[in-house]
Amino acid sequence: MQGTVLDAHGKPVAQASVTIQTSDGLKPHATHTDSSGHYEFARYDAGQYDLRAYSKGQFSDWSKHIVIRPKKTTEVTLRLPPESTEKVTVTSNP
């Protein structure tokens, strides 16, 4: 299993955390993307897995039921949502 993490503008995201787990939610494992936004999980048994990425407070949607087959490379691109631009104003009472 390998792929790339992209931001909302399609640019690669370096040092994003990518989590893989079986589709029943077991055996979670994480890795980080390289400077090109590339990640790789090696030596996984055949089966169905879920993936998602995280960077700077933003999670991608789960990519669910990704099938890993013996002797085949599975490629998955994960996309992060746009960063929130919400503005918060704090005032105090004297």
Give the domain CATH number at 19: 2.60.40.1120
Which DSSP letter does residue 27 get?
Answer: S
Domain range enclosing 22: 2-79
Whether the predicted pLDDT of 43 surpasses 90: no
pTM for the model: 0.84
**Residue 91 domain flag:** no
**Per-residue confidence at 71, pLDDT binned at 50, 70, 90?**
confident
What pLDDT does residue 22 have? 94
Token representation of residue 52: 């998602």
With 70 as the cut, is the pLDDT of residue 87 above it? no
Q: Total structural domains in the chain?
A: 1
Q: Evaluate if residue 53 carries a pLDDT over 80.
A: yes
**3 exposure class (CB count in 10 Å sphere: 0-12, 13-18, 19+):** buried
Side-chain-side CA neighbours of residue 21 (13 Å): 10
